[in-house]
Amino acid sequence: MQTIIEFIRSYPDIAELIGVIGFMIYIGGFFSVQSGFMCGNGIAFPMVQVTAASFVLVSLTTAYNLPAFMIQTSYIAIGIFGIVLRLRRVRSNRERPANPARAARMRAPIRFDADCHEPATLFRHSKDQSDSPNPQTLCS
């Protein structure tokens, strides 16, 4: 690990480029969620965030900044937590428990990107709201 850090420090321009790529991944992921190309509740968004934070963290090896380090490590930790949580829920929802009491305690399934609502359907301004999604199901 130490040799990798020394290698990156010997090429500060490459480390800076990796950080810029991380920034572009952050912005691309955020734009994708806001424009409806990616679901913020799916597994893809935390994976994008962890990747971007890792790239920016690499750039901090040449120009260390404590607050930036804390932000990036927090994004990585929370992102990994979200990925693990989503994978556990998907696995537990695939298993059909024989005990009905256990089935009642199981968490709601996490939708992946294909199941996410488009942003335009979240805020309808028409008088007929019958086909609008239930707000409680959007964040489950």
| Helices 2-10 & 12-35 angle (0-180, nearest 10) | 100
Average pLDDT, the chain: 78
Q: What is the extent of the structural domain holding 53? A: 2-124+134-138
Choice between 9 and 107, residue whose per-residue pLDDT is larger: 9
In a domain? residue 67: yes
In a domain? residue 34: yes
Instruction: Give the model's confidence band at 140: pLDDT under 50 very low, under 70 low, under 90 confident, else very high.
Output: very low
Distance, CA of 2 to chain centre: 29
In a domain? residue 60: yes
Closest CA to 46 of 89, 78, 74: 78
In a domain? residue 129: no
Section 54-62 average pLDDT: 93
- The total number of structural domains in the chain stands at 1
Reply yes or no on whether the pLDDT at 69 is more than 90: yes
Instruction: Give the model's confidence band at 4: pLDDT under 50 very low, under 70 low, under 90 confident, else very high.
Output: confident
In this predicted model, what pLDDT tens digit does every residue of 120-132 receive, in sequence order? 433 334 444 444 4
35, 81, 93, 98 from 105: Cα distances, Å: 34, 21, 11, 13
pLDDT of amino acid 98:
59
Residues 15, 71 contacting (CB under 8 angstroms): no
CA distance 53 to 65: 14
Range in 20-29, 43-52, 128-137 with the lowest mean pLDDT: 128-137
Section 41-69 average pLDDT: 93
In a domain? residue 86: yes
Distance, CA of 116 to chain centre: 14
In a domain? residue 84: yes
Choice between 93 and 44, residue whose per-residue pLDDT is larger: 44
Predicted model pTM: 0.66
